[in-house]
């Protein structure tokens, strides 16, 4: 029971650390989107959609299609990788390679110093099942991403001049929302791959799994947080306000 106690403590703690970080990131995206990479990308996607749809000549149509094709290819690659890995793990589990034999009942790598957690057939099956769930979730999320990207590839090429003036803003908002949903699903699919890394290292024990969660949260913080965009917006606002004061003072002197 002493060795299994590490799994009961470190594994939930590591998963809670990952979930807690992504919960904090979600709140930051909703409240201060300009301080996150995901929020900045969403803002720039809105600018890009309006730039493409407001072009009366349609010269950006080819660029839009190529951009959406690249996004679809990226999602397709991740989806194919996820379903392939899921199939391999499912075959391994169904063939009894996870712990039905006497050699595996002693645990995975029993002589390794880091494997100090649970080392039984049931524990090994649970670990492989957790990895399988991560890859299946990644596959489903990337499929949804492909779906929204496919819709966007058609909607973004609809010219705004064919719409009424009152509905042009709504059209841009709808296309932007569709594109952002595809990007959000793609980001979630990538996060599912991130989650699979510490779960995979759980095969070697709860200690490397927890250490990987800590390292990954620190790395993701530096990859997800971006303060430059918000600082630039504040500087632009101060400059515009300062320029307006100068103009008002000049007018008063005249």
> In this structure, are 8 and 79 located in the same domain?
yes
Tell me: do 233 and 211 sit in the same domain: no
Band the pLDDT of 9: cuts 50, 70, 90: confident
Is residue 127 domain-shared with residue 243, that is, in the same domain? no
Higher per-residue pLDDT: 233 or 86: 86
Give per-residue pLDDT as tens, 87-125: 998 888 877 655 544 444 444 444 445 456 666 677 788
The whole-model pTM stands at 0.80
3-state secondary structure 45-76: HHHHHHHHHCCCCCCCHHHHHHHHHHHHHHHH
Distance CA 25, CA 220 (A): 10
- 178 and 147 fall within a common domain: yes
| The total number of structural domains that make up the chain | 2
CB atoms within 10 A of CB 4: 14
**The domain containing residue 67 runs over which residues?**
2-31+37-224
Name the residue among 225, 181, 180, 77 with its Cα closest to residue 138: 77
Q: What is the pLDDT of residues 38-62, one digit of tens each?
A: 999 999 999 999 888 887 676 788 8
């Amino acid at each position: 029971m002493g060795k299994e106690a590490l799994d009961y403590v470190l594994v939930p703690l590591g998963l809670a650390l990952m979930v807690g970080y992504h919960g904090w990131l979600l709140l930051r995206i909703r409240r201060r989107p300009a301080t996150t990479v995901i929020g900045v990308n969403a803002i720039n996607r809105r600018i890009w959609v309006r730039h493409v749809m407001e072009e009366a000549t349609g010269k950006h149509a080819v660029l839009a299609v190529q951009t959406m094709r690249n996004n679809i290819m990226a999602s397709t690659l991740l989806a194919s990788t996820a379903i392939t890995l899921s199939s391999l793990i499912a075959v391994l589990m169904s063939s009894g390679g996870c712990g039905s034999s006497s050699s595996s009942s002693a645990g995975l790598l029993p002589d390794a110093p880091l494997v100090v957690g649970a080392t039984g057939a049931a524990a090994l099956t649970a670990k492989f099942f957790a990895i399988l769930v991560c890859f299946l979730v990644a596959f489903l999320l990337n499929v949804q991403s492909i779906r929204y990207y496919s819709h966007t590839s058609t909607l973004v090429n609809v010219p705004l001049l064919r719409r009424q003036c009152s509905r042009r803003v709504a059209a841009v908002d709808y296309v932007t929302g569709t594109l952002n949903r595809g990007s959000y699903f793609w980001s979630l699919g990538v996060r599912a791959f991130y989650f699979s890394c510490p779960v995979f290292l759980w095969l070697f024990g709860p200690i490397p799994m927890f250490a990987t969660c800590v390292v990954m949260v620190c790395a993701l913080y530096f990859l997800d947080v971006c303060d430059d965009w918000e600082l630039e917006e504040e500087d632009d606002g101060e400059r515009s306000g300062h320029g307006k004061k100068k103009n008002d003072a000049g007018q008063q002197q005249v």
